[in-house]
């Protein structure tokens, strides 16, 4: 299965996680929108497309016609790490900009992504509003929470994904991809000599657990596809926990404090450090030829806001293309 020959638009595009997954499966981008100037610069440097700015100021009629609408719409309004104001937050209302574009263009397929907490936010009422809105616009809505750790990426990143086909296409109910559960460790994606990340040198580092992986009956190391916490810095709060690189990374974040903010801390040999921007790119599924053009601070934010490309790739591969879609 491929979406080859179809055209997509990339809303709240960030640095182009959706672009990566759709284009590698044969679709072409005809429009993108991103209001953060640093993320937009990264997008243009990698794809040759200058994203339009604030989607709330762009008329539906100024957006090209398209087959697929992609949107990882802002999650801070629904995230457990934020204030969870949902649609009371201006970022939460941006979903309705997706809705007005869908109403005007009626694309054949919508692929949306948000934080895991979106499913249960406000007692499920937020999800109910989204489902009802999309159904009233004429779409069959399927959604599921998937974890990047189950799809070949060493990062514990749970996100809710929506796949919505236009009703008149009479497509079968979408079945989300089963986990591949490929054994993979964070250690496999580390740079040998990262240039833009420093060791953590403190006297309050405590390693309270030595990780000893299990060995199976064939003598092979059993890989645990999850973060393995082994120590702390300071009081061990968020951003102050240390993990073994023979497990997975914690969820990359665009925000958060602590000495290990945004990436977590990892014991690599005798060194304790954060992940480098390139390592963050890798645990999100970006290829090594992806250009990191922003500062380290901005790069952390961009990868923390991005989507897990391997998960999207598996979703796109499951989309059943028929003649009705062309």
Q: What is the DSSP letter of 189?
A: G
Percent of the chain residues topping a pLDDT of 90: 75
> What is the pLDDT confidence band of residue 78, given thresholds at 50, 70 and 90?
very low
Q: Which of these, 314, 24, 14, lies nearest to 175 by C-alpha position?
A: 314
Q: Which tens digit of pLDDT belongs to each residue from 144-173?
A: 999 999 999 999 999 999 999 999 999 999
Q: Which tens digit of pLDDT belongs to each residue from 184-227?
A: 999 999 999 998 899 999 999 999 988 888 888 888 888 999 99
Q: Which of these, 212, 254, 17, 8, lies nearest to 110 by C-alpha position?
A: 8
Sign of CA dihedral 136, 140, 146, 148: negative
pLDDT of res. 17: 97
Give the integer Cα–Cα distance in Å for 12 and 74.
7
* Ordered domains of the chain (ranges, CATH): 7-181+304-325 (3.40.50.150)
Q: Do the Cβ atoms of 73 and 92 come closer than 8 Å? A: no
pLDDT of res. 220: 87
125 phi and psi angles, rounded to 5 deg: -70, -35
pLDDT of res. 86: 41
> What is the pLDDT confidence band of residue 325, given thresholds at 50, 70 and 90?
low
pTM of the predicted model as reported, rounded to 2 decimal places: 0.91
pLDDT of res. 88: 53
Question: 70, 75, 164, 280: which is the annotated catalytic residue?
Answer: 75
The reply to whether 280 belongs to the active site is no
What CA–CA distances, in Å, run from 17 to 12, 70, 113, 244, 302? Answer: 10, 10, 11, 27, 10
pLDDT of res. 77: 46
């Amino acid at each position: 299965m491929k979406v080859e020959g179809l055209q997509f638009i990339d809303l709240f595009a960030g640095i182009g996680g959706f672009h990566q997954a759709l284009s590698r499966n044969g679709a072409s981008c005809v429009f993108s929108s991103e209001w953060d100037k640093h993320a937009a610069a990264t997008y243009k440097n990698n794809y040759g497309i200058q994203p339009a700015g604030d989607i709330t100021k762009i008329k539906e009629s100024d957006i090209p016609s398209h087959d697929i609408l992609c949107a990882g719409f802002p999650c801070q309004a629904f995230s457990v790490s934020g204030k969870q104001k949902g649609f009371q937050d201006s970022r939460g209302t941006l979903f309705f900009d997706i809705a007005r574009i869908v109403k005007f263009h009626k694309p054949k397929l919508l692929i949306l992504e948000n934080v895991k907490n979106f499913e249960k936010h406000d007692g499920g009422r937020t999800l109910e509003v989204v489902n009802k809105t999309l159904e009233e616009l004429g779409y069959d809505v399927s959604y599921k929470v998937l974890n990047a750790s189950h799809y070949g990426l060493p990062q514990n990143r749970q996100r809710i994904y929506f796949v919505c086909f236009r009703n008149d296409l009479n497509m079968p109910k979408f079945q989300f991809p089963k986990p591949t559960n490929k054994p993979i460790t964070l250690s496999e994606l580390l740079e040998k000599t990262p240039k833009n990340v420093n060791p953590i040198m403190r006297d309050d580092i405590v390693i309270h657990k030595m990780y000893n992986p299990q060995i199976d009956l064939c003598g092979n190391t059993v890989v645990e596809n999850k973060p393995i916490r082994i120590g702390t810095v300071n009081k061990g709060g968020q951003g102050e926990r240390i993990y073994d690189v023979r497990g997975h990374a914690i969820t990359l974040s665009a925000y958060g404090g602590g000495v290990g903010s945004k990436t977590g801390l990892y014991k690599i040999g005798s060194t304790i450090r954060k992940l480098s921007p390139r390592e963050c790119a890798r645990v999100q599924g970006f290829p090594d030829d992806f250009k990191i053009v922003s500062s380290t601070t901005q790069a952390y934010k961009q990868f923390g806001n991005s989507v897990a490309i391997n998960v999207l790739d598996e979703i796109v591969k499951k989309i059943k293309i028929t003649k009705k879609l062309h």
